[in-house]
Amino acid sequence: MTDRSGTNDSKDDAARPVILVVDDDESIVELILATLRSAPHRIVTASDGAEAVQIAREVHPAVILLDVAMPGISGFETCQRLKADPTTRDAFIVMLTARSQPEDRARAIEVGANGYISKPFRPSELLATIGKQLGW
């Protein structure tokens, strides 16, 4: 688990909602981090689905941004596991992926995703989706 929130004050971190970013492409992770830099939250990253499930059980994220195509288990399978787990099922999961076919969107809904954003994404779209969920 990598905490990418850029603060060393653990007391403040505990009060901030957690956003878990799951993507194996570091350039996408960096773009997401740059987009979310000024929002009031703590960002934690994972590079694959198995790591994401483990981290989500530990930090109970409010929002999970989840890539579909990753090594190991897919984002769809990861989403399904997260929604089946009582400790993580309430997380708001947004699939963030290069796949933009209608069947991919349908599959995301089928496995429990709450949102779907196609790459390349507009930062404003990502902020609006997360902000609406977190109330900022």
Cα angle for residues 105, 59, 49 (degrees, 5° grid): 40
DSSP string, 92-136: EEEEEES---HHHHHHHHHTT-SEEEESS--HHHHHHHHHHHHT-
The answer to whether residue 135 is domain-embedded is no
Kindly report whether the peptide bond that precedes residue 120 is cis, defined as omega within 30 degrees of 0: yes
Q: Are 70 and 91 in contact (CB under 8 A)?
A: no
Size of the chain, expressed as the number of residues it contains: 136
Look at residue 31 and tell me if it is in a domain.
yes
Per-residue pLDDT of the chain (136 residues; tens, 9 = 90+): 567 555 444 556 667 889 999 999 999 999 999 999 887 889 999 999 999 999 999 999 999 999 999 999 999 999 999 999 999 999 999 999 888 889 999 999 999 999 999 999 999 999 999 988 888 7
* Residue 9 located in a structural domain: yes
Q: What is the CATH number of the domain that holds 55?
A: 3.40.50.2300
Domain around 84: 2-127
Residue 19 lies in a domain: yes
Looking at the domain assignment, is residue 54 inside a domain?
yes
Q: Is 86 inside any structural domain?
A: yes
Residue 8: predicted pLDDT:
42
Counting the structural domains of the chain, the total is 1
Burial class (CB in 10 A: 0-12, 13-18, 19+), 116: buried
In a domain, 80, yes or no: yes
